[in-house]
């Protein structure tokens, strides 16, 4: 399905064009779909956002198809070309969930100072009211669509045109920008940096989709289990007292050790066509 997009390797300018097309064109298209659904199926309003969500990504993909027709590329780099080195795929996927939770624990103070906007409070309330539609959109659709766009297309392309650390940070910034609000953008930038590093080191899009799935799934479960919890609650509220600082130190230690192991066990396994541009 996505093979036709393997020849599209966007540079810095083209990446931001895609973002602009998605934010403007995708938002308008998604709004139009939602409006039509409201007229045609008003009794299924809980599912309207789920159906409309994928349409946000349609305009940039149509743009890519047109660009490929006008300027076909000889290069062909798959979105997903996994190589987990001596660590192996099984160990990698077992390490990813605790790695992500430890990373979020350690980096939470960098974003927890921001006040929660009202629409986020409404969104969290809707999770408990619309469990199944929220599950599909947050835990299934978002990881699939956002990772394919931000890592599979944009980061994969940027790695061909700049140093890895720059490509990872720029793709993480884009990942933050597409959330369109600071409260989500800063955490998205932080976790997007981790996902980008994992993608660069392993070449596995499924690894980042899995990370995204765990990230959103963890939040989804916490909200369901604590429906009366404040929208601005964090790890400090879930683990009060000295326990918070103990687990913070433990998370930091686990994060350092695990990333150190991954750094030397993977060894930058993306395709040669990308590596030669580093």
What pLDDT does residue 227 have? Answer: 76
What pLDDT does residue 228 have? Answer: 78
The domain ranges of the chain are 79-275
Burial 217-238 (b: 16+ CB within 10 A, else e): beebeebeeeeeeebeeebbee
What pLDDT does residue 73 have? Answer: 66
Query: What whole-number distance in Å separates Cα of residue 69 and Cα of residue 165?
Result: 31
Backbone phi, then psi, for 97, in 5-degree steps? -60, -50
What pLDDT does residue 72 have? Answer: 66
What pLDDT does residue 270 have? Answer: 55
Q: Which residues does the chain have with pLDDT short of 70?
A: 1, 71-74, 267-278
Write out the two tokens for 187. 């955490």
Do 239 and 247 form a contact (C-beta atoms < 8 A)?
yes
């Amino acid at each position: 399905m996505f093979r036709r997009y393997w020849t599209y390797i966007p540079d810095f300018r083209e990446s931001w064009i895609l973002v602009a097309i998605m934010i403007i064109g995708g938002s308008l298209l998604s709004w139009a779909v939602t409006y039509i659904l409201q007229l045609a199926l008003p009794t299924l309003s809980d599912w309207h956002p789920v159906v409309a969500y994928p349409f946000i990504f349609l305009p940039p993909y149509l743009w890519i198809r047109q660009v490929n027709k006008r300027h076909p590329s000889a290069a062909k780099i798959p979105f997903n070309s996994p190589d987990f080195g001596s660590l192996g795929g099984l160990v990698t996927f077992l390490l990813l969930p605790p790695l992500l939770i430890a990373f979020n624990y350690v980096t939470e103070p960098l974003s927890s100072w921001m006040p929660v906007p009202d629409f986020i409070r409404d969104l969290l309330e809707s999770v408990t009211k619309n469990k199944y539609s929220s599950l599909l959109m947050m835990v299934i659709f978002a990881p699939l669509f956002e990772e394919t766009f931000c890592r599979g297309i944009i980061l994969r392309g940027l790695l061909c045109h700049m140093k890895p650390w720059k490509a990872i940070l720029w793709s993480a910034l884009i990942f933050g920008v597409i959330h369109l609000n600071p409260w989500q953008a800063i955490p998205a930038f932080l976790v997007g940096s981790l996902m980008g590093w994992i993608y660069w080191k392993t070449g596995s899009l499924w690894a980042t989709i899995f990370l995204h799935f765990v990230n959103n799934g963890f939040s989804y479960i916490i909200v369901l289990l604590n429906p009366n919890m404040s929208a601005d609650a964090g790890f400090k509220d879930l683990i009060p007292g000295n326990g918070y600082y103990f687990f913070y130190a433990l998370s930091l230690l686990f994060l350092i050790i695990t990333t150190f192991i991954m750094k030397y066990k993977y060894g930058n396994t993306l395709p040669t066509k990308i590596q030669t541009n580093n």
